[in-house]
């Protein structure tokens, strides 16, 4: 049975960080907004080049998206290469493939050179299908990958406890423990004029050349700024909120009686099912991931955990479900991340976002591209990831779909009349209620105390939806998430929700 409290294995199995909060105004060469894999990798690269850096994280480093990943290091990004060739041509597809194959080897190199023990294991990666409808797509993807120099093959059978119709295999991919990899790199950043600051939230950015980053506890002056906050919390008129949407998936970490066969597996069809194992104490933890949906657009989020558990128990003898967590991913218009200068006119401001569930390789690719741009070096993958690209032919349909959906949620949220009242709330339950004609978010904690917030998202005014699985308020428009008492969990929102009180 899935335990009540959400808990990521990656976070639970590593020590908590304790970096200071920014307490005074400082000046550095590079200010980095966000302490995930992009932020820490960028800071590590740039400090090695002699630059002074400051990483700021709103809460704790490596506990956001990076701490809730599947942690597959692979260039196999679902069925993408045939699509890239058809949409953009072989040159762009080749850049994408080369960048991600390089990232696998770069992570391996960093691990070896720095003596990092992070459960790095080479594994084959598979995309499988149980439907005849996906066979041709997989066959076409194998041919496309082979054309780009990837070691890919078609497989008819896999060592899984259910039958398949076919699969694609990529050899020499990898997996690891992301926090065990990144925490040692983070330790090398502070000192000699460089910093990591936790519990330091960005509020705004002012000026240019240099920039002034305004935070909740001080200011940072820097020539260069990197927005590494997953969804950009500052987009310099790049309109990223109209060029991406956010998606959630769910994960179980479980012990099974069977020996897991090795390899990393992902279904071609929906609902998605991803499987891999992870060394755990004297045995192994099997990680099952799936149940994707757009953030804030669900009726009962906890149902996704129940469906994953049902799948696990149907195919394995499950001894225990030790961990469960959820992840959030930015999904770009044309399937390619945005990495580089945040806009074509921005001087010295950079972004890395839109990784579409493939953040382990793309975080390293992003850090390398931005490092090279800051140092005025040529990078071979700049073109494919250029954030200023927008080709109407390839992106128009998705652009209108995303923004029509946003408009629908904005309007429907405002017209929605909540039916629940405070007296109906059970302990550890949340709901939208109506008080004096106003839509209010209410949550009753385990002590019976009521927490009330304005459910209008502080980003762009969409009405938030209650997430019963994580006890959060989620935005169905742009993916911002808030605690039950209104604190920001994930952007693009930077301001908390308005807290409300019941009149005595």
- Per-residue pLDDT of 243-277, as tens digits, reads 888 888 999 999 999 999 999 999 999 999 999 99
Please report which residue ranges of 243-389 form alpha helices under DSSP H.
302-315, 359-374, 382-385
Of the given ranges (181-185, 287-291, 445-449), which has the lowest mean pLDDT? 445-449
pLDDT at 407: 45
Please, which pLDDT band fits residue 9 given cuts at 50, 70 and 90? very high
Here the tokens at position 206 are 């002012």
pLDDT at 434: 76
Please, which pLDDT band fits residue 419 given cuts at 50, 70 and 90? low
In terms of pLDDT, which residue wins out, 331 or 398? 331
In terms of pLDDT, which residue wins out, 239 or 9? 9
Percent with pLDDT over 90 in the chain: 66
Q: What is the DSSP string of 308-342?
A: HHHHHHHHS-EEEEEEEEEEEEEEETTSS-EEEES
Domain with CATH 2.102.10.10 in the chain: 415-500
Tell the burial category of 320 from Cβ atoms under 10 Å away from its Cβ (0-12, 13-18, 19+): exposed
Here the tokens at position 387 are 């954030």
Are 373 and 347 in contact, with CB atoms under 8 Å apart?
A: no
Please, which pLDDT band fits residue 109 given cuts at 50, 70 and 90? very high
> For the segment 454-481, what is each residue's pLDDT rounded down to a tens digit?
888 887 778 888 887 778 888 888 778 8
CATH architecture of 15-69+180-242+335-390: 3-Layer(bba) Sandwich (3.50)
Of the given ranges (7-16, 110-119, 310-319, 438-447), which has the lowest mean pLDDT? 438-447
What values do phi and psi take at 382, rounded to 5? -55, -40
**Mean pLDDT, rounded, for 341-357:** 93
Peptide bond into 90 cis (omega under 30): no
> For the segment 136-185, what is each residue's pLDDT rounded down to a tens digit?
999 999 999 999 999 999 999 999 999 999 999 999 999 999 999 999 99
**Mean pLDDT, rounded, for 84-101:** 97
Domain with CATH 3.50.50.60 in the chain: 15-69+180-242+335-390
In terms of pLDDT, which residue wins out, 45 or 452? 45
**Mean pLDDT, rounded, for 388-416:** 51
Which residues have CB under 8 Å from 489's CB, separation 6+?
A: 472, 481, 482, 483
Average pLDDT, the chain: 89
User: β-pairing, 219-227 with 26-33?
Assistant: parallel
- Fold designation for 415-500: Rieske Iron-sulfur Protein (2.102.10)
């Amino acid at each position: 049975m899935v335990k009540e409290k959400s808990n990521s294995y990656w976070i639970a199995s590593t020590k908590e960080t304790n970096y200071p909060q920014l307490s005074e105004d400082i000046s550095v060469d590079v200010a980095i907004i966000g302490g995930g894999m992009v932020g820490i990798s960028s800071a590590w690269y740039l400090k090695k080049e002699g630059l002074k850096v400051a990483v700021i994280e709103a809460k704790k480093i490596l506990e956001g998206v990076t701490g809730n990943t599947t942690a597959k290091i692979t260039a196999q990004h679902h069925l993408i290469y045939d699509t890239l060739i058809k949409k953009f041509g072989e040159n762009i597809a080749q850049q994408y493939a080369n960048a991600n194959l390089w990232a696998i080897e770069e992570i391996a190199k960093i691990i070896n050179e720095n003596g990092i023990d992070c459960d790095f294991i080479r594994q084959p990666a598979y995309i499988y299908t149980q439907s005849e409808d996906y066979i041709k797509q997989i066959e076409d993807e194998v041919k496309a990958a082979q054309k780009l120099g990837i070691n890919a093959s078609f497989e008819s059978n896999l060592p899984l406890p259910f039958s398949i119709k076919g699969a694609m295999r990529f050899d020499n991919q990898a997996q690891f423990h992301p926090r065990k990899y990144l925490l040692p790199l983070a330790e090398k950043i502070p000192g000699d004029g460089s910093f990591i600051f936790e519990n330091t939230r960005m509020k705004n950015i002012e000026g240019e050349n240099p920039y002034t980053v305004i935070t909740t506890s001080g200011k940072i002056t820097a020539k260069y700024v990197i927005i590494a906050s997953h969804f950009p919390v500052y987009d310099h008129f790049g309109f990223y909120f109209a060029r991406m949407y956010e998606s959630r998936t769910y994960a179980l970490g479980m012990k099974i009686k069977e020996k897991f066969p090795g390899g990393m597996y992902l279904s071609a069809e929906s609902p998605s099912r991803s499987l891999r194992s992870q060394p755990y104490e004297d045995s192994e933890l099997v990680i099952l991931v799936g149940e994707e949906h757009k953030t804030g657009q669900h009726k009962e989020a906890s149902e996704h955990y129940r469906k994953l558990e049902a799948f696990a128990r149907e195919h394995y003898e499950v001894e225990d479900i030790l961990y469960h967590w959820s992840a959030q991913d930015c999904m770009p218009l044309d399937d390619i991340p945005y990495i580089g200068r945040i806009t074509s006119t921005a001087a010295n401001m950079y972004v890395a976002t839109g990784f579409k569930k493939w953040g382990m390789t793309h975080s390293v690719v992003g850090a390398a591209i931005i490092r090279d741009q800051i140092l005025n070096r040529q990078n071979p993958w700049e073109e494919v990831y250029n954030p200023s690209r927008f080709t109407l032919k390839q992106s128009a349909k998705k652009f209108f779909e995303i923004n029509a959906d946003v408009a629908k949620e904005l309007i429907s949220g405002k017209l929605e009349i909540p039916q629940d009242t405070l007296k109906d709330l059970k302990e550890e339950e949340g709901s939208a209620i109506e008080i004096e004609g106003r839509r209010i978010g209410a949550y009753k904690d385990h002590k019976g105390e009521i927490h009330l917030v304005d459910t209008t998202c502080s980003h762009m005014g969409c009405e938030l939806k209650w997430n019963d699985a994580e006890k959060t308020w989620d935005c169905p428009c742009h993916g911002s998430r808030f605690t039950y008492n209104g604190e920001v969990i994930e952007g693009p929102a930077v301001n908390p929700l308005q807290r409300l009180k019941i009149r005595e």
